[in-house]
Amino acid sequence: MYNFLPYEGHMLGFVQPSGRGEFTERTIRIERLGATKKDESIGGVLVAWVAPSTNGGVLLVGWYNNAIVYRRYQPPPQGSGRVFKDVEIGYYAKAKESDCVLLAEEERTLRVPRAEKQMGGLGQYLVWYADSGKVNDKRFRQELIEFIRLYGHQRLENELNDAKFTTRKFVEGTPRRVTATTYERNRKAREACISYYGARCLICGFDFLEFYGEIGKGYIHVHHVNPLSVVGQGYEIDPIQDLRPVCPNCHAMIHRRNPPYSIEDIKALIQKHGG
Ligand SMILES: [Zn+2]
Ligand SMILES: [Zn+2]
């Protein structure tokens, strides 16, 4: 109830570490995340949150990118009102609100594999450190990271192709979930891509201005070609290396698969089928 309720621009995440005694006395073993024995916290951690589904099984529900993870229980900030049944709810992980994603219910499609018999396997405890060398654990870790990157990629593309970008008239104000800086940065990247490549589809050659006249002027999607490079807030788009103008039809075909088809793949398909 509090892990995705922002407080002063941050998410504060609670989890119950395993161990004996009061939960506030228990510790997260941050050495397993790369900290030294002396450290009280470690930064730059990807924290994934999972929860049981009403249909059975356990699903990924969200994540904190670039989080700080604390060894010890941190009491909630004064006046934050983070209380449940008269018990204060503190935290072990903290991240900027803009670095956190809570998936909508229909987006919760990544299933966490069932715990294995051996000790310390994923699902045995409420905290899993993802540092195991076991094949299944490594596979799930990889799958999780890819899911998160592809999600970020899709969100970036939605922002790049938001209706407000695709007309010449720029509408003031920012859409939900997109910060003003991100919005401005993406708008510039989109414009730089189009001024370099033109507003014609790089795959099929479709040109909205040519086909529809004035109303089609400047209308085109931009596709981001390297989905797995999109990581977190610090990511900078290179408009020429990373973006390509494509028409919405070709763009839809690119994304018929995850990871997406390449520009060349779709070009080849058009050649083959005589489209
Ligand atoms: Zn096209
Ligand atoms: Zn795309």
Q: What is the mean pLDDT of each run of 10 residues along the chain (275 residues)?
A: 94 90 88 96 96 89 96 94 92 94 93 67 75 88 91 86 56 51 82 95 96 94 82 73 96 90 96 84
pTM over 0.85: no
Q: Name the closest ligand to CA 202.
A: 1
* Burial of residue 264, with CB atoms counted within 10 A of its CB: 0-12 exposed, 13-18 middle, 19 or more buried: exposed
Ligand 1 centre from 268 Cα, in Å?
Answer: 12
CB proximity list for 237: less than 8 A, separation 6 or greater: 156, 185, 186, 189, 224, 243
Residue 120 has a pLDDT of: 52
Residues 6+ apart with CB under 8 A from 175: 159, 162, 164, 183
Integer CA distances (angstroms), 264 to 48, 132, 202, 227, 271, in order: 35, 38, 10, 16, 10
What is the predicted pLDDT for the residue at 40?
A: 97
| Ligand showing the shortest atom-to-Cα distance for residue 159 | 2
171 CA → ligand 2 middle, Å: 23
- Ligand closest to 259 (CA) is 2
Q: How far is the CA of 186 from the centre of ligand 2 (A)?
A: 14
Q: How far is the CA of 151 from the centre of ligand 1 (A)?
A: 24
- Quote the CA–CA distance of 111 and 57 in Å, as a whole number: 7
Identify the nearest ligand to the CA of 247 by its number. 1
pLDDT confidence of residue 178: 55
Give me the phi and psi of 65, to 5 degrees please. Answer: -90, 145
Please provide residue 238's backbone torsions phi and psi, each rounded to the nearest 5 degrees.
-100, 110
The residue with tokens 């407000």 is 164
**Helix H segments across the chain?**
135-160, 180-197, 208-212, 239-242, 248-254, 263-273
Ligand nearest to the CA of 226: 2
Cα of 223 from ligand 2 centre, angstroms: 4
Ligand at shortest distance from the CA of 266: 1
